[in-house]
Every structure is written in structure tokens, then in C-alpha cells.
């Protein structure tokens, strides 16, 4: 059909609906900006990860130091004070350092220092699609309006209001230590194909970081494994040493006396122990930051 024969009268454009949608969007933008509303609360691991990814991608300042890992490393990272804001976190729930490394490549914000967690999460097969998580058109809108950010979505603001103003009568039961360990023992093989493949993928990511001048070190967050899991940890450590020889890469582990760690679910440190490990982690990281020229106290 040529343009000359096209009947524009038959083309029905929902002008009213579009006008209402634009008006509501503008009104919501003005409300957020005018009231300087605080970010809302995020519910669910996917949105939690998107919030962190958006925060890292949105920043235009040079990256100083970044932690890459899972929620296991995120627990100590949550204990850091505001003076360590230049030590950014890409510790993503249910994921691994591979995910964070993909975000760095996508954003092209290569840090001076990358602190990479090695844990059982490396055994999980991961599909990394940063373009799907942070669409390019969405990134283009960040400087124009905050409403495209996940923490300013209406559901996030509503959730924050409910959590701050409505008494919570029922709490979701969390897995016990035994249940959590058994679940992980079933789902996560110690030295299976996914584990070795992910380590090979991580080695490529590490080399890419190093080519951009990033200094890489590895961190091991203490846990409280069962006897069965301890044997898996030993097998895992052997494979890790083969992939990342300790004489070539600096490692951060607990430097204090041997202790029994408190992990409510068998994996994540309790707040008190997370604070203890965070202090020890910072003590070991400060010389690394200084030698790399990081602007971190």
C-alpha cells in the first residue's frame, strides 16, 4: 500500500489514553523531585540486584574499589560505614563474582582494585544478560528522571510506607541451619562441571580486569560447614588453587585466632560476626588500597 492511497481516517490513535499516561508520568516525576522523596524499599533478590547494578552503572565518577560476589560477602559489606562509600559493592543475591564482573565490563567503569569472593556460589550455572537487566533506553533516562530507577517505582515507595507504618504480625519462617545446609548440599556440587567452567570464565574476567589496570585480590568469607560440606570445601580449594595460584594472587582470609562463626542459615554471617570479619577485612585491604592509589580512608 502506497502512502498516497493510505486512509489516515481509519488510523485510530488512542490520544486520550496517551495524554493521560503522559500526564500521570509527569505528575509522578514532579512529586518525586519536588518532595525529594526517599528511595523506597526493594522486595525480592532480583530487584535488590537491579538496584545495585543501576547504582553502579549510574555513577560517572571513576571507580576506586569494588567488591564482587554473592550475598555471603554482602553481609560484611553492609557493616561498613559511610566513610567507605568509595568501596562499592556488586555483591548480588543468588549470584557470584561473574555477575559483578559482567556489570563492570558493561559499564566500562573499571576499578583500581577488585575484591573477588570465591565461594560455593561459583558452583551455580549463571546466565549473564546485563542488557536485559539494564536496557540501554532506561540508562539514557537516568539523568532526566528518577522514576525509571527501581527504588522509585510506586511499589517500592508503597512497600517502604507499609513497613514503616503498618505493624507486621507475621514473619516468614526462615530455613534452619540444617535445612539450609541440606538444601545447598543437594543443589550445589563441590567440583562439578559448572564449578570448573565458572572458574575458567572468572579467570578470563580477571585477566580482562588486569588488562584495564585493575588490581585483583580474592576474599574468603568464613562459614560454618558441616562435616560433609567441609570435604567439599577441601575439594573446592584444590581446584581454586589450580586456577588461581596463591603465589600469583593476594588472598584475604580471617587473620585472627581460630573461632566458631555464627551463621543463622549455615552460610551468611550473623550481624555481629559480619562486623568482626568486616573490621579484619578492612585492616588487610587498606595497604592494598594505598598501593593502588585508591581514595579510601
Q: Can you give the pLDDT at residue 96?
A: 84
Identify the residue with better confidence: 198 or 68.
Answer: 68
Report the topology of domain 39-162+175-292: Rossmann fold (3.40.50)
Per domain, the residue ranges of the chain are: 39-162+175-292
Model confidence pLDDT, tens digit, residues 208-225: 999 999 999 999 888 765
Indicate the pLDDT class of residue 57, thresholds 50, 70 and 90: confident
pLDDT above 50 (res 5): yes
Mean pLDDT of 1-5: 52
* pLDDT class of 196 with cuts at 50, 70, 90: confident
Q: Of 5-19, 80-94, 203-217, where does mean pLDDT reach its minimum?
A: 5-19
Q: How confident is the model at residue 11 (pLDDT cuts 50, 70, 90)?
A: low
Asked if the model's pLDDT at residue 186 lies above 50, the reply is no
pLDDT bucket at 188, cuts 50 / 70 / 90: very low
The pLDDT assigned to 54 comes to: 81
| Average pLDDT of the chain, as a whole number | 76
The full DSSP string for the chain is --GGG--GGG----HHHHHHHHHHHHHHHHHHHHHTPPP----SHHHHHHHHHHHHHH--SPP-EEEEE-HHHHHHHTT--GGGTTEEEEE-TT--HHHHHHHHHHHT---SEEEEE-SGGGGS-----HHHHS-HHHHHHTTT-GGGSGGGSHHHHHHHHHHHHS-----PPPPPHHHHHHHHHHH--SS-HHHHHHHHHHHHHHHHHHHTT-EEEEE-------HHHHHHHHHHHHHHHHHS-TTTSEEE---S-------TTSSSPPHHHHHHHHHHHHHHHHHHHHHHT----
Lowest model confidence (mean pLDDT) among 121-130, 148-157, 227-236: 121-130
Amino acid at each position: 500500500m502506497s502512502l498516497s492511497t493510505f486512509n489516515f481516517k481509519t488510523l485510530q490513535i488512542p490520544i486520550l489514553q496517551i495524554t493521560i499516561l503522559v500526564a500521570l508520568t509527569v505528575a509522578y516525576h514532579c512529586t518525586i523531585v519536588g518532595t525529594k522523596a526517599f528511595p523506597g524499599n526493594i522486595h525480592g533478590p532480583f530487584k535488590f540486584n537491579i538496584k545495585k547494578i543501576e547504582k553502579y552503572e549510574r555513577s560517572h565518577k571513576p571507580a576506586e574499589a569494588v567488591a564482587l560476589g554473592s550475598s555471603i560477602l554482602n553481609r560484611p559489606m553492609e557493616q561498613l560505614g559511610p566513610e567507605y562509600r568509595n568501596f562499592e559493592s556488586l555483591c548480588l543475591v543468588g549470584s557470584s563474582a561473574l555477575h559483578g564482573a559482567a556489570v563492570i565490563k558493561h559499564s566500562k567503569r573499571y576499578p583500581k582494585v577488585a575484591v573477588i569472593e570465591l565461594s560455593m556460589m561459583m558452583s551455580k550455572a549463571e546466565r549473564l544478560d546485563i542488557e536485559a537487566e539494564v536496557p540501554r533506553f532506561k540508562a539514557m533516562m537516568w539523568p532526566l528522571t528518577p522514576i525509571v530507577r527501581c527504588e522509585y517505582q510506586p511499589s517500592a515507595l508503597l512497600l517502604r510506607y507499609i513497613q514503616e507504618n503498618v505493624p507486621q504480625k507475621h514473619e516468614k519462617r526462615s530455613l534452619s541451619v540444617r535445612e539450609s545446609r541440606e538444601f545447598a548440599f543437594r543443589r550445589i556440587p563441590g567440583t562439578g562441571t559448572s564449578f570448573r567452567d565458572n572458574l575458567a570464565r572468572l579467570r578470563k574476567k580477571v585477566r580482562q580486569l588486569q588488562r584495564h589496570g585493575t588490581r585483583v585480590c580474592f576474599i574468603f568469607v568464613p562459614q560454618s560447614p558441616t562435616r560433609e560440606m567441609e570435604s567439599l570445601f577441601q575439594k573446592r580449594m584444590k581446584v581454586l588453587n589450580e586456577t588461581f595460584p596463591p603465589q600469583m594472587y593476594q588472598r584475604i582470609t580471617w587473620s585472627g585466632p581460630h573461632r566458631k562463626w555464627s551463621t543463622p542459615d549455615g552460610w551468611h554471617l550473623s550481624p555481629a560476626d559480619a562486623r568482626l570479619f568486616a573490621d579484619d577485612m578492612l585492616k588487610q585491604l587498606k595497604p592494598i588500597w594505598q598501593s593502588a592509589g585508591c581514595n579510601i580512608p
